[in-house]
Chains A and B, each alone.
Chain A
Amino acid sequence: MNKMNNVLSCARFQAQLPELIGSGEGAGGHLHLQNCTNCRALISDLQSIADAARRLFPVEDPPDELWEEIQMAIDEERADAHPG
């Protein structure tokens, strides 16, 4: 019966996760986590994935040549719009 209660409690907690993770406060302080190793592990995993993903693709500049290509494309569009 306790196991069933835990499962129901986990289900309720995880159903709230989309709200909790978007609230800005996070889920870390939720009462359910104090007694649930499974959901603590879940939160830890989700945080680890987000942290690892941020490190995966560092923010970088496009190559300088890209601006030249954009300028050329803009020139072409202007020429098409105003022939002659």
Chain B
Amino acid sequence: MSDLNSLTYSSSPAPNKSYEGDGFPNGRSLQAATLPLQNDLITLAQAGDHQAFAELYSLHKRRVYSLCLRMVGNVAAAEDLTQEAFLQLHRKIGTFRGEASFSTWLHRIAVNVVLMDLRKKGLQASSLDEAMEPDADSQRPGRSFGAADLTLSGTIDRLALQRAIADLPAGYRLMFVLHDIEGFEHNEIASMVGCSIGTSKSQLHKARMKLRDALRLHPEQEKRR
């Protein structure tokens, strides 16, 4: 990286390598030696070094793209959202002060981009607050008392699960994707989404219960689709 400043922007392909972001629990830590490097990259990018920005893109593109893909379930839309997230990062990187980890801060940007997109499309969430608190009556997950015969049996059908996740209210889906799939801790999610840790936990629980209900109650319906 010693020659970062000597590289020109117009000839700066994003390096073809992919690291995991810092602070990711699912086998996803940046190498210890990479974190100081990332700090240097942030400083350089904040000063307008576009090669440094390209390196930051390479470090984080995978997780941001995966988050978008898992939230919207569509490759083209995920690419658009990833592009928008990194454009916003480019606009805002000068405001990063290191209060949160860089990856949490970047994911906060990506989460807001995804939710804004859902709002534009009128899908389920008109605001982050609403996404976090869907209509209490219609979205209340079922409880499971004395219903051992209604448990899931055998392998979970991929398509049925994919459909059930897609059908979750945006706020529930977000918590499920961030915690159960991406592997973030509740304190990270709370910081990322701007909610309390308790909200993160309860929304995740409701999401899981709704998924279970969807997969348990409608197996025949799913098979017919």
A residues less than 8 Å from B148 (CB atoms): 37-38, 41
Interface residues of A in 1-52 (CB under 8 A from B): 3, 6-7, 10-11, 14, 17-19, 21-22, 24, 37-39, 41-42, 44-46, 48-50, 52
Say yes or no: A56 contacts B161, CB within 8 Å: yes
The CA-CA distance from A62 to B83 in the complex, in Å, is 10
* Interface 0/1 of A45-72, CB less than 8 Å to B: 1101110111011011111101101110
Closest chain-B Cβ to A24's Cβ sits at a distance in Å of 8
The CA-CA distance from A52 to B165 in the complex, in Å, is 11
Q: B69 in the interface, Cβ–Cβ < 8 Å?
A: yes
Please report whether the interface of chain A is mostly helix, strand, loop or mixed according to DSSP.
helix
Closest chain-A Cβ to B162's Cβ sits at a distance in Å of 6
Closest chain-A Cβ to B128's Cβ sits at a distance in Å of 20
Say yes or no: A62 contacts B65, CB within 8 Å: yes
B residues less than 8 Å from A66 (CB atoms): 61, 65, 79, 82-83
Say yes or no: B69 contacts A61, CB within 8 Å: no
Chain B residues engaging chain A, CB cutoff 8 angstroms: 12-14, 16, 18, 26, 50, 54, 57, 61-63, 65-66, 69-70, 78-79, 82-83, 86-87, 90-91, 143-148, 151-152, 156, 158, 161-162, 165, 176, 179-181, 185-186, 197-198, 200-202, 204-205, 208-209, 211-212, 215-216
List the 4 closest pairs (A to B, CB-CB), nearest first. Answer: A18-B205, A67-B14, A22-B201, A41-B151
Chain A residues engaging chain B, CB cutoff 8 angstroms: 3, 6-7, 10-11, 14, 17-19, 21-22, 24, 37-39, 41-42, 44-46, 48-50, 52-54, 56-57, 59-64, 66-67, 69-71, 73-74, 77
